[in-house]
Amino acid sequence: MFSTPPHKATPVPLPIFCIAFEHFPSRATAEENKGAAAGIRLYAGGGGGPNRSGVPNAVVIYDVDPATLSLTPAGEITFSNQDDACMSLELAHQEKRRYIAVGVNAPPELIQAGDNKNLRLFKFDESLSDNDPNTYTMVKSVQSVPGKKAEHYQRVARFSANGSMVITGTTDGHVHIWTFPALDEHRPPMLVSEEVFDVDIDSESSLLVVVTPSKCQVISIKNGKIVFEISQPKFHKRACEFRACRFGRGSTEDYLYLTLNEKSRRASFIGQWRMDDWKMIRKRQVATKPVTAFALSPDGERMAVGVSDLSVVVLSTHSMNVQARLSNAHSFPVTCIAFSPDSKVVASGSADSSIHLMALPKTSSIPSASAISLLMILLLILGLMLYIREAQEL
């Protein structure tokens, strides 16, 4: 069993649909921060969409105090009230410059005219002036959603580990590979038959994974060939749909993690695939409700899921044992989830206009159930050998 770790919910001025952390230089001294790990910044995107009076479309930015789980406003990037809400965001550093890529649909009339420059790249102003220390300037915008229907949007963006590419996936089934920071098309977009739920890039920036409800494809970025594919997934002979994907990091970089939901919505699962032979080596049921959000920690040791029953669950990437669970994290289902750069804090966002932070316990030194079972078997064998030896001496 495990106890609920320290956690804190903070109301924010808009529904949240995407979230990310980064290390950020802090002007505060170590003494002012009382030894806390200063310089952690949180970005949360969302909004009320076009023509929603009083509900902004923006990325709100906060400095995080890991000791108290408090959020201090540190700036924002605002969009027009005729734009759509911010539905995806991703952070990147290149040559000591900070960038944020967001997915924000243009006003409906521009979408219908085929001029939806929805992928917008902002650069942080390195001047750090005392008058405005948190200035972000848009440096380029391109169109990742080619259609003319306002209901389609960019669901996800991922930067490659080598900083040369950004991948986008859209609800109308388009996957783009863009050069970074130029945002030129690396190759013609891939068109899949369904909406794209998630994408990710491996640590060597050579493989791309794309999941739609019915299919997972791992694709070579170099030649565009499919190296692994799963269609019409089933767990325990029950039909499922893919929900999210992540390549491992650090000690888990040779694995692929996928989340799946039963079509009946009665269970959700995580599977772990070995990338040298693409064999599934471990699986676990996460909840009796669908998974709505998924993240892997920067150190590759943990993963977190948001569940439609309003809970957040953190698991080990190695054993898949649950390490922390937070019930009723939000009043609406979790829309997004992320780990802090040091992998010690999980943040979740929701359409209920709140951000919930949870401080994670240290990795447990308690042996797993399988390790305990093996130890008991060894002790039984040792005891039996001693018994036989004593019987022979009588």
For residue 131, pLDDT over 70 is answered with: no
For residue 2, pLDDT over 70 is answered with: no
Cα 75 to its chain centre, rounded Å, is 22
Q: What is the DSSP string of 120-176?
A: EEEEE-TT--SS-S--EEEEEEE-S--SS-TT--EEEEEE-TTSSEEEEEETTSEEE
CATH 2.130.10.10 assigned to 7-363: yes
Taking only the tens place, the pLDDT of each residue in 47-60 is 999 976 689 999 99
Q: What is the C-alpha to C-alpha distance for residues 303 and 25, in angstroms, rounded to an integer?
A: 26
- What is the percent of the chain where pLDDT is above 90? 79
pTM tops 0.75: yes
Domain ranges of the chain: 7-363
Main-chain phi, psi angles of 279, to 5 degrees? -100, 135
Task: Place 94 in a pLDDT band, splitting at 50, 70 and 90.
Answer: confident
| Tokens 């698991």 found at | 315
Task: Give the lowest-confidence range in 261-270, 371-380, 383-392.
Answer: 371-380
Taking only the tens place, the pLDDT of each residue in 250-303 is 999 999 999 999 999 999 999 999 999 999 999 999 999 999 999 999 999 999
Over residues 124-135, the mean pLDDT reads 59
pLDDT of residue 379: 73
Q: Which two tokens stand for residue 10?
A: 């903070």
For residue 96, pLDDT over 90 is answered with: no
- Cα-based distances in Å from 227 to 93, 276, 351: 29, 11, 37
For residue 369, pLDDT over 60 is answered with: no
**Which amino acid is present at 313?**
V
Residues in the chain: 394
For residue 38, pLDDT over 60 is answered with: no
pLDDT of residue 125: 72
Taking only the tens place, the pLDDT of each residue in 220-231 is 999 999 999 999
For residue 110, pLDDT over 80 is answered with: yes
For residue 32, pLDDT over 80 is answered with: no
Task: Place 374 in a pLDDT band, splitting at 50, 70 and 90.
Answer: low
- Cα-based distances in Å from 181 to 129, 141, 156: 24, 11, 17
Task: Place 69 in a pLDDT band, splitting at 50, 70 and 90.
Answer: very high
pLDDT of residue 367: 45
| Contact partners, residue 16, CB within 8 Å, separation at least 6 | 44, 45, 46, 335, 336, 349, 350, 351, 353, 354, 355
Task: Give the lowest-confidence range in 2-16, 103-117, 269-283, 287-301.
Answer: 2-16
Cis peptide, bond prior to residue 181, ω within 30 of zero: yes
CA-only gyration radius of the chain, Å: 23
Output the average pLDDT for the chain.
90
pLDDT of residue 30: 39
Q: Is 187 left (phi over 0), alpha (psi -120 to 50) or beta?
A: beta
